[in-house]
Structure formats: C-alpha cells, structure tokens
Amino acid sequence: MKAVVTGGCGFIGSHLVEALVARGDEVTIFDGAPPPHWQQTARRHARYVPGDVLDREALATAITAEADVVYHLAAVVGVDNYLARPLDVIDVNFTGTRNVLDLAADAGAKVVVASTSEVFGKNPAVPWREDDDRVLGATSADRWTYSSSKALTEHLTFAFVRQRGLDATIVRYFNAYGPRQRPGFVVSRSVHRALNGKPVVVYDDGLQTRCFTFIDDAIAGTLLAADSPAAVGQAFNIGSMIETTIGDAAELVVKLAGPETELHHVDTGVRLGQSYEDLSRRVPDNTKARTVLGWTCETSLENGLARTIEWARNSQWWLDLDDSGAE
C-alpha cells in the first residue's frame, strides 16, 4: 500500500509511520517540520513532504493519484493550545481536513480521519457509544473549540462519504499515551515531572476519570479501521473502557517512576481560567470496534506506564523538553 500520513512527525503519527513501514507500506509523511533525530524509521524509510495542511498546493504534492490511503492526523491539540490558540485550532482542524478530503476524493484514495473523545463534550451518560449525543458548554469558552472543530471534521467526512462517494473512516482516540508524547498531557506530563524530580501535578481533587489507551493499541485500531471494508462510512471509539481517576494515575506514575516524588494539586480555575471546563468522566463504549474491527485494548495502564517510563529514562532529549506550562 502507498500511504500518506499528515502529521506524521507527531506523537500518534510517528508511531503510525513506524507501523506502516514495518508492514511494508510505502509511506509519505506530510508535516511542517522534517522527521526529528529520534524518528529514525521515518528518516530512513519514508518520503518526507514539507507543508501545512492549510496549503492546498503543498498538500497536493503528497496526496497524489498514486496514494492508496491517507491517514489524516495533522491537528492542533492540547488544552494549552485550545486556550492560547483557538483560531489556529479551528482553522487547522476544519480547513485542513477539508483540503485533505478534497484531494483524497480526487485521487480515489481511502481516508482514515483521526478524531477525539472530546467530540462528546460533557455528556454525563457514560460510556459513550459512537452515535451518542454531544453536550457542550458556551461558545464563548475556548475550551470547546477543539471539540467543535473536530465534530465539524466528522461532519465533513460523513458528507464526503455520502455526496462524493469517498471511502473514509473515523477513529476517535481516548487519552492515548506512550513514548514521545510531549509533556503537556496527563500521563506524559506526570512521567516527565517525576523523572525530573518535580512534583506531579494533579488538577483539582484528582477524582476526574479517564480511560487511558496505550499508543500501540491506538495504532492497532487505526490500522484495522483502514483495512476493514466494513469500516467505510463509520466512526469507531478507540479507547480502553477501564476507568481510572487522574489522582490514581498520578500515584501509579509516582510508584513506578520515583516514589519520593510529591503530588501537587492545582486549582484549574486559578491555573487555566474560566475559559476551561474539566470533565468529570470520559468513558468510551468500544463494543463497535471490538465487533466490527476485531480490535481489543490489550495493554493495562500499569504495563503501558512501565514501558513509557522505561523509554523516557533513556531519552534525555525528551526529559530536557520544557514543561513550564504544567506548573
């Protein structure tokens, strides 16, 4: 297969590129920056095309008539970006996706669009099935720009399937974590701070729950969605159904990475302002992915954390990254 990965130098994208190369696919990476030094598989075995998904002409040099499948992962993500760069979040996630879908439709390529658990907003009725309602806060709260922009990309994708006959599938990731994730997310931030001898940050009382999904499981679900004819025109929750509190996850990181590390509780209202609204629970129903794709989430949180921490201990470049936004 000839595959194009937008955002192929990012966290999920880089792992996907490695999996595609390992199975023998010809891979083209489309990203704003070239594969970094640690992405040796991509540097040696993948074609790199520089560009921004907002630049249709540049994107067209990657998504050509030769492409069999396009994995669209390029996006602006992270709570820090939702609050600081809401316009970029909307532009890149919506307009960039429109460009990808247009070019893929012209090329006759299949598309797998990466979406997020955030599309469900704060719907209290968990676990969430793929077709459950979205419940969001006020449009004046920048917190919801990512959720709304990703929901619009899903609408775009379904519209292309129905009106243009595009062969497309949506995968919604639930709290993916693992090696190479920048230290701006729950697990990566906690591991980064613990290994650097800093207190591990827990927002509010730490009783919020998440379902953490190790990167290898997320990639396995993505590949199954791309390969399954039954996945066309469908969305799939790719996430563990095991609920863990943020506080318990932080304590497990401390246990595995540095028992002497302290926990530091932060008030989100003070730290992030009133534009941010936290979610008390985020739980997928992954029945559809299991029955249609044959996907299972195989990695326990403890095992995934242990693997992530082992990698991090041996990756000084990652430990040297700035995490000042986590204070």
Return the closest-CA partner of residue 10 out of 289, 219, 213, 257: 219
**DSSP assignment of 87-141, as one string?**
HHHHIIIIIHHHHHHHHHHHHT-EEEEEEEGGGGBT--SPSBPTTPPPB---TT-
Quick check: 122 and 279 in contact, CB under 8 A?
yes
d(C-alpha 98, C-alpha 139), whole Å? 22
Return the closest-CA partner of residue 252 out of 210, 204, 296, 314: 210
Quick check: 119 and 275 in contact, CB under 8 A?
no
Residues forming the active site:
146
Q: Assess whether the previous peptide bond of 127 is cis (omega < 30° from 0).
A: yes
